[in-house]
A and B are shown apart, each in its own frame.
Chain A
Amino acid sequence: MNFIKVFFLVSFSICCTSNVEKLEVYDFDGIEHYLKQNDDKVYVVNFWATWCAPCVKELPYFDQIQQDFKENVEVVLISLDFPSQYESKLIPFLEKKQLTSKVIVLDDTDMNSWIPKIDSEWDGAIPVTLIYNKDQRQFYPQSFTYDELSSEVRKFMN
Chain B
Amino acid sequence: MNKLKLLLFTVLLATAISAQNGYDIGALAADFNLENIDGSFVSLSDFNESKGFIVVFTCNTCPYAVAYEDRIEALNKKYAKKGYPVIAIMPNNTEIKPGDSLDAMKKRANKKGFTFPYLIDREQAVFPQYGATKTPHVYVLQKNNEMHIVRYIGAIDDNYKDADKVVLKYVEDAVDALLMNRQVPVSKTRAIGCSIKI
Which A positions have Cβ atoms within 8 angstroms of B? 51-52, 54, 80, 82-83, 85, 109-112, 115-116, 122-127
B134 near A125: Cβ-Cβ < 8 Å: yes
B194 near A52: Cβ-Cβ < 8 Å: yes
Which B positions have Cβ atoms within 8 angstroms of A? 62-63, 67, 133-134, 154-155, 158-162, 165, 168, 170, 189-196
A122 near B195: Cβ-Cβ < 8 Å: no
**A–B complex contacts, Cβ < 8 Å, 6 sampled:** A80-B192, A112-B154, A112-B168, A112-B189, A123-B133, A125-B134
Knowing A115-B190, A124-B134, the reply to whether A82 touches B161 (Cβ < 8 A) is yes
Q: Which residues of B contact A115 (CB under 8 A)?
A: 190-192
From the candidates A54, A80, A112, name the one contacting B155 in the complex (CB within 8 A). Answer: A112
Knowing A110-B158, A112-B158, the reply to whether A125 touches B133 (Cβ < 8 A) is yes
A111 near B155: Cβ-Cβ < 8 Å: yes
Q: Which residues of A contact B191 (CB under 8 A)?
A: 111-112, 115, 124
A125 near B154: Cβ-Cβ < 8 Å: no
Give min CB distance, A124 to chain B, whole Å: 5
Once the chains are docked, how many angstroms separate the CA of A80 from the CA of B192?
9
A54 near B158: Cβ-Cβ < 8 Å: no
Q: Which residues of B contact A116 (CB under 8 A)?
A: 190
Q: Which residues of A contact B194 (CB under 8 A)?
A: 51-52, 125-126
From the candidates A54, A85, A111, name the one contacting B190 in the complex (CB within 8 A). Answer: A111
Once the chains are docked, how many angstroms separate the CA of A54 from the CA of B192?
15
Knowing A109-B158, A109-B159, the reply to whether A125 touches B63 (Cβ < 8 A) is no
Once the chains are docked, how many angstroms separate the CA of A124 from the CA of B193?
6
Q: Which residues of B contact A82 (CB under 8 A)?
A: 63, 67, 161
Give min CB distance, B50 to chain A, whole Å: 27
Q: Which residues of A contact B196 (CB under 8 A)?
A: 125
Once the chains are docked, how many angstroms separate the CA of A132 from the CA of B165?
35
Q: Which residues of B contact A110 (CB under 8 A)?
A: 158-159
